Amino acid sequence: MKNYLLRHLQNFFGSLGSMSRQPVSTAMTVAVIGIALALPSALHIMVRNGTAVSGGWEHIRNFSVYLVPGTSLDYAQRLAGEIQQQQPVQSVTVISAEQAFEELQNSAGFGDVMNTLEDNPLPHTLVVQPTADAPPAALRQMEAELLTQKEVDLVKLDTDWVNRLNAGLDLVQRLVWIAAVLLIGAVIVITGNTIRLDIQNRRAEIEVSKLLGATDAFVRRPFLYIGFWYGLFGSCFALVLLGAGFLLLNGPAERLSSLYGGAFHLMGMDRSTAMAVFGGGLLAGLGGAWSAVARHLADIQPRV
């Protein structure tokens, strides 16, 4: 057991030394693997941020009911009570015409305009907040029922674009999984091709080893460790790329959010994404090395 572990340790560091003797090709292979791993991870992070943004805009499901100007405040409050009793409604807020007029007077750019008006042209408004699980069909039905009342002038309900955003995010998430599978396959092919070239370069050494009685497992071991190192270094390079991309985008994203009055903060890479990058890189590196060795090692036999 001691000799077995010692051989593994020798192959573990020996494969690293073999890669260091070819720094240019090793660096290029690691860079390609890192980019292939970083692309689906970056798309996944973008989807997470998009989901966070759409989740922060859930208040957009609220809709406003504008009453006909001149409608009494008592009717507005009575209608608010009737709407409150309906199933998909969480709360109803009544904004009187006087309150809305005062808010516009205090708003920048509207104060001078509102002061020139002799009468208040604004109607009473009801702001309806649906429940979180309210189906769009129920909201549409409520809109149609409210518009049948002669005191209701307009119902502003616009949740279609939020639904489109969520549907788009679901589509992109599915594309991320497809891209991840394809790019992991590309990593396996890249690693396998690199290992294949290494096997061909060491063909004479392998033939001598087999002539001296080396088993296929003994010959295969250093190439598997080379695949392990490629996967590990490629994963580390992918994490560096993702971290650099986050630093470059964080400042502009926060400035854009502040311009729209939001408090959105760009989410970087979480622990599960980092573990997926490491796991995918190591498995792809080992898988590529194993496939290359299994395919080419059997063809190399010692010539007696």
User: Is 0.85 topped by the overall pTM?
Assistant: no
Same domain, 36 and 118: no
Taking residue 89's Cβ as centre, other Cβ atoms within 10 Å add up to: 19
d(CA 230, CA 33): 8
The predicted pLDDT at position 54 comes to: 55
Across the strands, what pairs with 66?
A: 125, 154
Same domain, 177 and 281: yes
Pick from 106, 126, 150: which residue ends a domain? 150
Same domain, 277 and 132: no
Question: Is residue 237 one of the residues assigned to a domain?
Answer: yes
Question: Is residue 182 one of the residues assigned to a domain?
Answer: yes
Same domain, 184 and 285: yes
d(CA 78, CA 97): 16
- Rounded to the nearest 5°, which phi and psi values hold at 258? -65, -30
Question: Is residue 170 one of the residues assigned to a domain?
Answer: yes
Question: Is residue 203 one of the residues assigned to a domain?
Answer: yes
Residue 139 belongs to a domain with what CATH number? Answer: 3.30.70
Q: Write the DSSP string, the chain.
A: -HHHHHHHHHHHHHHHHHHHTSHHHHHHHHHHHHHHHHHHHHHHHHHHHHHHHHHHTGGGG-EEEEEPTT--HHHHHHHHHHHHTSTTEEEEEEE-HHHHHHHHHHSTTTHHHHHT-SS--PPPEEEEEE-TT--HHHHHHHHHHHHTSTTEEEEE---HHHHHHHHHHHHHHHHHHHHHHHHHHHHHHHHHHHHHHHHHHTHHHHHHHHHTT--HHHHHHHHHHHHHHHHHHHHHHHHHHHHHHHHHHHHHHHHHHHHTT---------HHHHHHHHHHHHHHHHHHHHHHHHHHGGG-----
Same domain, 50 and 138: no
Q: Cα(first)–Cα(last) distance of the chain, in Å?
A: 32
Same domain, 30 and 170: yes
Same domain, 191 and 46: yes
The predicted pLDDT at position 255 comes to: 76
Give how many domains the chain has, as a whole number: 2
- Angle at Cα 21 formed by Cα 20 and Cα 23, nearest 5°? 60
Across the strands, what pairs with 92?
A: 128
Same domain, 291 and 144: no
Question: Is residue 293 one of the residues assigned to a domain?
Answer: yes
Contact 128, 62 (CB under 8 A): yes
Question: Is residue 294 one of the residues assigned to a domain?
Answer: yes
Question: Is residue 231 one of the residues assigned to a domain?
Answer: yes
Same domain, 273 and 211: yes
Which domain does 19 fall in, by range? 2-57+163-299
Pick from 150, 177, 194: which residue ends a domain? 150
- Angle at Cα 175 formed by Cα 172 and Cα 178, nearest 5°? 160
Same domain, 84 and 144: yes
The predicted pLDDT at position 239 comes to: 92
Pick from 150, 183, 206: which residue ends a domain? 150
Region of residue 71 (left: phi > 0; alpha: psi -120 to 50; beta: else): beta
The predicted pLDDT at position 233 comes to: 93
pLDDT in 10s for each residue of the chain, 304 residues: 677 677 777 777 777 777 888 888 889 889 999 998 888 888 888 877 776 665 555 555 678 899 988 888 899 899 989 888 888 888 888 988 888 878 777 765 565 666 666 677 788 899 888 886 777 778 788 888 888 888 888 888 766 666 676 677 678 778 888 888 888 888 888 888 888 888 877 777 777 777 777 776 777 788 888 889 999 999 999 999 988 888 887 777 777 767 655 556 677 777 888 888 888 888 888 888 888 887 777 666 655 5
Handedness of CA 146, 147, 153, 156 (dihedral sign): positive
The predicted pLDDT at position 48 comes to: 77
Same domain, 95 and 47: no
Same domain, 50 and 76: no
Question: Is residue 157 one of the residues assigned to a domain?
Answer: no
